[in-house]
Structure 1
Amino acid sequence: MKTITLIHHLGRLSGRMQAPGNLWLEMWRAAKPVVAWRQKRLFDDTKEAEKILHTFSSLRPAQIATLLLPAVFHASVHRLLEELPSTTQLPDANSNCRAAIAKIVQIARNYPLELQQYEDLLPMLQLVECHLAQFNSLRCRMINYENWETVDDFVTRLLIDKNVSLPGGSHCPAGNALLKALESLHKKDASSRLPPPVKKEFILRTMAHRPGNGSTSSCQKMYCSVDEDSIRLAGAWTQDILFH
């Protein structure tokens, strides 16, 4: 038969805290129990919230815009990530977005906010946006003519390598789409063209001090007419007659 012995260790104050006349011990004995809802709050969250709202109401529009910059840049990166194609990887797109997010978090922890640090992020985001616009433009031009499964990979290689080989030349789907896309770029719409100009007219206006630098500024005008057979020039000059 096994005997189990239970040992209870009760907590107690140290000898220094139990010394006669200890201030903490006397205050504990004199304290009266008070229900929680009647106790004074150590932190008045309503008052602190009012302070924050008062601070916001006193900010100028430029200061409010500065405080919103971290959220605006986060939303910009999130939108870029949403627009990136899921079937392929654009050059340095995901890495630039991750680097931008890490940089935004680092900048947002510093106070006061420095606008120059946010301006340094713009080229990184602009590069991703430029690659995305080029990808969508090329893909749209090619998908309208030929629908093949490797269109995204082909467009991505065009953006990365610039020089891409086409097995089969112009007879393959990619080559056929490229030819038609180039033809559409050089195609001229005769209905939208205007006839050549019969005459061109130019009018120059300025203000000048005549006849001297101390004269009052007055209006000056020059007219020029150019056609196939002749050129006509005319001018209207004014000057100050009171103060020469």
Structure 2
Amino acid sequence: MGVAPGYPDTRTCLLHQKLQLLNVCVERRLQHELIGKRKKQQIQQQQSASDETEDEDESEFFDCDEPASRSTSSSPLKAVLSIKPEGRLKRLANERLLDEPDEYLYIPETQEPVPKTEDQLQDDAEVMLKLGPGSGLSTQMMCNSLMSDMEAFKAANPRAKIDDFIRWYSPKDWIEVHDETGQTRHQLSVRMTTEGNTWQKVWQQAQPVPVSRQRRLFDDTNEALKLLHYLETRNMSEIYALTIVPILHTAVLKLIDLQSNARVTDLFSTHIEQLLSDLCRLSRAPADEQLNVQPLLDDIAELERRFYQYKCFERLAGYPKRSSQAQVKQQFEEILKHENCCTIVNKKQAAAGDSSLCDILSPKLEQDISNCLISKDYIIRLDADAQAKEKGQNYGPQFMRAIVTGDKLRLCGAFTESTTFV
């Protein structure tokens, strides 16, 4: 069925996640190469345009207004206002900056989330658990993506403050309150205003850097090399752990495909759901635990055997020329419910219902009984008699079995008597 597109899906097996991550690395690399080619073409076009106008501008000179430039650089406020917005994606509806009501709030271009497989997420969680919540490295691991987004937001909205960022990035922390006069206003949540808040620290450290000049959070080349090295260095037991679940899932899908083509999916849907549930539970077993796949293999083999039993029964019932599939299904459902046993009703004795399938099966069964060797078992069991116990006679359970095969008769029995030792 191939590998599903997109980021690694943690609901799937680890091997599928690894292949998804490899696809993401390849896609990112192709995107970077395409962007690089476009930039190179733009630079070449700009250079060719500048070469054409170079001769015309050689005799032109412009004086720089030094006092104005000095005054601008000496004033921090004017320096901030002179920053040109970069990396804007689109406006955030009709929202405006809190300190600049005349300027709209823009959503910045941001880096895509870092794709990770299930084992990588688990490793990150273990590292953060060992480092503890107060560790600087733990905070850095959590805030790399946040820092990137804050820098992109500052580049797109030079006059914004953290309240504007929270309105876009985490609207749930921009809460509505009522003051003493009953007027409604908005403010940051307690989580964002507590002392030592990580968001406040990161905002103070973030610089206005658009996403085009930021360091990449996800290095597709290194991740692809790590992934290939991981796959190349697996031993046989690790390869088995990676592939056994996909192989079993493929077997189940093959059975589903067979049943779908035969239009008997409804007969085995309960068994299929149970198989998929057991397979999902098996895939979630701890990595250091040895997988016991034998019960699942037995269930798959049993389901396959039952399907081909149905196909044989379908042919025996004369489908499709002499019987309908609904009749065959109904009779086979009885076989499944009663452990390979079913009742063939004589049409003359049937009070109601369609017994056309019985007319088809009965002659064939009678012919098989007369021509084929059939064995019948008769079993007689007798438990201890309560009245005999009252009379002081302690008899144990009695058992007799008779096996009739053609003209031969075999008998076997087990007869016991309770003995009291004094």
- The separation in 2 between residues aligned to 1:102 and 1:186, in whole angstroms, is 46
The reply to whether residue 168 of structure 1 matches residue 352 of structure 2 is no
CA contact (8 A) 2:249 2:279 kept: yes
CA contact (8 A) 1:146 1:177 kept: no
Q: TM-score, normalised by structure 2?
A: 0.34
Which residue is 2:333 aligned to?
156
Aligned-pair CA distance for 1:137? 1.0
The Cα RMSD (Å) is 4.2
Q: Please list, as runs of the form range in 1=range in 2, the aligned pairs for 1:195-210 lying within 5 A after superposition.
A: none
Q: Please list, as runs of the form range in 1=range in 2, the aligned pairs for 1:29-48 lying within 5 A after superposition.
A: 32-48=207-223
Aligned-pair CA distance for 1:172? 4.7
CA contact (8 A) 2:271 2:303 kept: yes
- The separation in 2 between residues aligned to 1:182 and 1:116, in whole angstroms, is 49
Equivalent of 1:96 in 271, 279, 283: 271
- The separation in 2 between residues aligned to 1:15 and 1:174, in whole angstroms, is 80
Q: Does the C-alpha gap of structure 1 residues 79 and 66 become closer, same or farther in structure 2, counting only changes over 3 Å?
A: same
Aligned-pair CA distance for 1:112? 1.9
CA contact (8 A) 2:256 2:265 kept: no
| 1:161-197 deviation line (CA, Å, top 9, x unaligned) | 313132327x954333443377589989xxxxxxxxx
Q: Please list, as runs of the form range in 1=range in 2, the aligned pairs for 1:92-241 lying within 5 A after superposition.
A: 93-112=268-287, 114=289, 116-143=291-318, 147-149=322-324, 150-161=327-338, 162-168=341-347, 172-180=356-364, 183=367
Letter in 2 for 1:59: R
- The separation in 2 between residues aligned to 1:105 and 1:56, in whole angstroms, is 23
Task: State the secondary structure of the residue aligned to 1:163.
Answer: coil
Percent identical pairs in the alignment equals 19
Task: State the secondary structure of the residue aligned to 1:165.
Answer: coil
Which residue is 2:175 aligned to?
none
Aligned-pair CA distance for 1:72? 1.6
Q: Does the C-alpha gap of structure 1 residues 54 and 116 become closer, same or farther in structure 2, counting only changes over 3 Å?
A: closer
Aligned-pair CA distance for 1:62? 5.0
| 1:89-134 deviation line (CA, Å, top 9, x unaligned) | 54xx332321221222222123327554222212222221221111
CA contact (8 A) 1:77 1:97 kept: yes
Task: Between 103-112 and 173-182, report the one with greater CA deviation.
Answer: 173-182
Unpaired runs of 5+ residues, structure 1, are: 1-5, 18-22, 189-244
Letter in 2 for 1:107: L
- The separation in 1 between residues aligned to 2:265 and 2:185, in whole angstroms, is 67
Letter in 2 for 1:132: F
- The separation in 2 between residues aligned to 1:165 and 1:174, in whole angstroms, is 6
Q: Does the C-alpha gap of structure 1 residues 178 and 49 become closer, same or farther in structure 2, counting only changes over 3 Å?
A: farther
Which residue is 1:83 aligned to?
258
- The separation in 2 between residues aligned to 1:16 and 1:172, in whole angstroms, is 83
Aligned-pair CA distance for 1:38? 2.0
Q: Does the C-alpha gap of structure 1 residues 24 and 80 become closer, same or farther in structure 2, counting only changes over 3 Å?
A: closer
Aligned-pair CA distance for 1:58? 1.6
Q: Does the C-alpha gap of structure 1 residues 15 and 152 become closer, same or farther in structure 2, counting only changes over 3 Å?
A: closer
Aligned-pair CA distance for 1:136? 0.9
Q: Does the C-alpha gap of structure 1 residues 123 and 102 become closer, same or farther in structure 2, counting only changes over 3 Å?
A: same
Equivalent of 1:64 in 219, 239, 247: 239
| 1:183-224 deviation line (CA, Å, top 9, x unaligned) | 589989xxxxxxxxxxxxxxxxxxxxxxxxxxxxxxxxxxxx
**How many residues end up aligned between the 2 structures?**
174
Letter in 2 for 1:174: C
CA contact (8 A) 1:89 1:156 kept: no
- The separation in 1 between residues aligned to 2:367 and 2:288, in whole angstroms, is 51
- The separation in 1 between residues aligned to 2:336 and 2:194, in whole angstroms, is 78
Q: TM-score, normalised by structure 1?
A: 0.54
Q: Does the C-alpha gap of structure 1 residues 32 and 116 become closer, same or farther in structure 2, counting only changes over 3 Å?
A: closer
Unpaired runs of 5+ residues, structure 2, are: 1-182, 349-354, 373-422
- The separation in 2 between residues aligned to 1:58 and 1:142, in whole angstroms, is 55
